[in-house]
Structure 1
Amino acid sequence: MSSGFFGDIKPIRYEGPESENPLAYRHYDADEIVMGKRMADHLRFAVAYWHSFTWPGGDPFGGQTFERPWFARPGEVETMEHAKLKADAAFEMFSLLGTPYFCFHDADVRPEGTTFAESASRLDEIADVFEAKMKETGVKLLWGTANLFSHRRFMAGAATNPDPDVFAYAAATVKKCIDVTKRLKGENYVLWGGREGYETLLNTDIGRETGQAGRFLSMVVDYKHRIGFKGTILIEPKPQEPTKHQYDYDVATVYGFLKRFGLENEVKVNIEQGHAILAGHTFEHELALAAALGIFGSIDMNRNDYQSGWDTDQFPNNVPEMALAYYQVLHAGGFKTGGTNFDAKLRRQSLDPQDLLIAHIGGMDCCARGLKAAARMIEDKALSGPLEKRYAGWKSTEAQAILSGKRTLEEVAERVVREKIEPQPKSGRQEHLENIVNRYV
């Protein structure tokens, strides 16, 4: 399969750490066995359709810098022919990289119609194209989703919109996208509330809007079961941007929301590194908390520039960060239906087709190095051993009685007095543990 966009570039191969070929993997060897499983099966890489094939290279201060054969020219209207050219290039890139999955929004893959029915028909038409290409290449769908934030109809939100007709339009859009995701055997379906939040409380009823969001998600879950969709429903947390405050602020906020509506056993989270940073957390914090709460699902692997303070969607290049992230993923038992989606985009000066490949190659190598370091730490019990030792006191009979509810507050207090308990602080040994991590990366 060749779209012609990537010229005569051959499929990307693993050449080892000493390779100087920019179009080769130095650390990602799909068939390398890590903790008893192929590296490819651990990482489950996916390419984001939107940033790689739809984003034109613009920013708030300047417009399009990328020139792609499938982009409509100035004055032209995007057509289904453009969409099919885009699909040709996308699946060629998936094949060149050897990534097993891709992800998409409806608006990425088909032009907007003049009516909802026309947009839905166009999505079905491109699904026909995808179905054929997926069969030809073996590439699978990690997840589908609906764009409920770009069009002006969603300027005040989708599920949380003050207009019930917008809620209904959003519901119809999600239904259609779930139908297509199921048809393409997608393993998850993602809901990102890009504008589910507020700009000012002067015109916002938080109770009403979060109630609407809860009803919307409940309808989605009910529909999933009615049609027999076996994939996981995922929510992607983000604290702000584009809104001042978004209702899916972080993992803890999403969990509270799910508990409120009785959906904590139905929905999991898709955690993005950049969003975690915007929320004032580390990536590994959000991963660890999601695992502890039982809602870990999947990840978007893209970073922010720590100087910018906003969501720059850059490819990962920090191996220690990746090692700590995949440590939490492996500690949680690894991905089930989720994976590693590169929700990342080129810098607007990276114009060439090979830049798309090089960016993904570098990100995949970085993740591979992080995964291997994390696996070695787990196998050596480098962190779990000291952690177990730190909490060893809680294995005692008395401590277990406290945790199991067999002791009252008065009984615990009485024991402190009776046994003259005077606990002495013990070192947390943080620097020692940081040095241990550095040995592996």
Structure 2
Amino acid sequence: MSDFFKGLSKVKYEGSESKNPLAYRHYNKDEIVAGKRMEDHIRPAIAYWHTFAAEGGDPFGGRTFDRPWYDKGMEGAKLKAEVAFEFFDLLDVPFFCFHDVDIAPEGATLAESNKNVREIGDIFAKKMEQTGTKLLWGTANLFSNRRYMAGAATNPDPDVFAYAAGQVKNVLELTHELGGQNYVLWGGREGYETLLNTKVGHEADQMARFLHLVIDHAKKIGFDGTILIEPKPQEPSKHQYDFDVATVYGFLQRYGLEKEVKCNIEVGHAFLAGHSFEHELAIASSLGMLGSVDANRNDLQSGWDTDQFPNNAGEMALAFYYILKQGGLGKGGFNFDAKVRRQSLDPADLLYGHIGGLDTLARGLKGAAALIADGEFDRLLDERYAGWDSGMGKDILAGKLSLAEIADRVHAENINPQPRSGRQEYLENLVNRFV
């Protein structure tokens, strides 16, 4: 046991009237919502990087946090692992996620780096067996080290591609051995800074080849989890090739991979792409691509990815609407890819952020379930598109009518459609009724 969270006790559900800042007011993991435990709907996970590796820096300033494991090499990594599992227990959450460099320091060579990761992985395995905590997903950091300044899979240097492949192989295998339910590929620098020195077609071929290699190796080792791509439009690169869900799907379809990979969708990344979170969920679900979620938000007055904890239950209700309508996230979950602010220095601040985030998810989940159970929202949506269920509309979608035949029918039946209200304000009010 460490003393990092000394004096803090396990967070419990106390109900909406509680004034205890270290208690859940809405997140009751065993509450049955839409026929399933709340925890089984949300499947919450703690992000190892923001929670234990983040230093409080932003684009204009460095470290503000003072953690006892900083700059302590492998001994610090072991202490960090101890603290991490204490935190998982305090919050009573079932999952966590990690990058390789979050859990262990890089060595002088790939072999040394991978050995360090494996050593901490052995500690994880013992802790997971003791506590029952599970791994939602693992991933490799292919963007922080200067070797990746021009990308990893899309780097003009094949040696960088090869190094990244060796890094991913190690983390994919460790994820499999730890029972991880997904593996995520986030192309932090898979894009370009300027077209002046970039062959975009060549880099797309490289990226596809890398993805094929990962999928093939996952099958070879018996990994039956989901391979996920996490879209982001820019930052750190000027333009990233996994811009949004639709872009990712087009890329996968071009290379015959659309049935092999799903998306891990982040709120903040959707916002940077000019979309809402629910837009990305709706598109992903419609394409059969919705795999998992990173829960956070961005500051609307800042131009970068601020990764703040979610706090808008209304928006989260719309998100859960699409998740529930597709039958849940399957092997995915809600990873808190969120960090406390650089002035939030105390260990308790880590608890406050996650408590608030889980309460927001709980409110959104219950709101979405109530909205669906009420039926009015779906009824109005179905009513708006009812013309496509029969007659000419049905024949058009079935490909039974040519363009000329459709035009002839308009003339023969004197079709002269009049606009109908989209009822946006009414629908907004209807959603808010259940939050």
TM-score by length of 1: 0.98
Distance 2:265 2:98 in 1: 16
| Residue among 178, 190, 199 paired with 1:205 | 199
Distance 1:41 1:427 in 2: 38
Counting only pairs closer than 5 Å after superposition, residues 27-426 of structure 1 correspond to structure 2 as 27-72=26-71, 78-426=72-420
**Number of positions where the alignment pairs a residue of Structure 1 with one of Structure 2:** 435
SS at match of 2:108: coil
Distance 1:285 1:58 in 2: 30
Amino acid at match of 2:26: H
Distance 1:382 1:317 in 2: 26
Identity of aligned residues (%): 66
Amino acid at match of 1:104: F
Question: Over aligned residue pairs, what C-alpha RMSD do you find?
Answer: 0.8
Amino acid at match of 2:401: R
Amino acid at match of 2:9: K
Amino acid at match of 1:217: L
Measured after TM superposition, the shift of residue 229 of structure 1 is 0.3
Measured after TM superposition, the shift of residue 61 of structure 1 is 2.3
Measured after TM superposition, the shift of residue 91 of structure 1 is 0.4
SS at match of 2:97: strand
Measured after TM superposition, the shift of residue 335 of structure 1 is 1.0
Distance 1:61 1:216 in 2: 34
Measured after TM superposition, the shift of residue 325 of structure 1 is 1.0
Tell me which residue corresponds to 1:75: none
Amino acid at match of 1:228: G
SS at match of 2:123: helix
Tell me which residue corresponds to 1:17: 16
Distance 1:55 1:199 in 2: 25
Q: Deviations over 1:329-351 (max 9, x none)?
A: 11121110100000000100000
Measured after TM superposition, the shift of residue 225 of structure 1 is 1.1
Distance 1:439 1:417 in 2: 44
SS at match of 2:383: helix
SS at match of 1:248: coil
Distance 2:61 2:228 in 1: 33
Q: Deviations over 1:341-393 (max 9, x none)?
A: 00000100000001001110000001100110011001111311100111111
Runs of 4+ in 1 over 6 A off after TM superposition: none
Distance 2:432 2:335 in 1: 26
Distance 2:60 2:300 in 1: 20
Q: Deviations over 1:284-330 (max 9, x none)?
A: 00000000011110000010001112100000111111111111111
Q: Deviations over 1:99-136 (max 9, x none)?
A: 10000000000010111111111111111100000011
Measured after TM superposition, the shift of residue 405 of structure 1 is 1.1
Distance 1:330 1:306 in 2: 28
SS at match of 1:298: strand
Please list every run of 5 or more consecutive structure 2 residues that lacks an aligned counterpart in the other structure.
none
TM-score by length of 2: 0.99
SS at match of 2:376: coil
Q: Deviations over 1:8-61 (max 9, x none)?
A: 311110000010101000000000000000000000000000000001111232
Measured after TM superposition, the shift of residue 396 of structure 1 is 1.1
Distance 2:143 2:377 in 1: 42
SS at match of 1:234: strand
Distance 2:125 2:10 in 1: 22
Distance 2:54 2:289 in 1: 31
Amino acid at match of 2:69: W
Q: Deviations over 1:243-287 (max 9, x none)?
A: 000000000000000001100000000000000000000000000
Measured after TM superposition, the shift of residue 401 of structure 1 is 1.6
Distance 1:288 1:103 in 2: 24
Amino acid at match of 1:115: T
SS at match of 1:376: helix
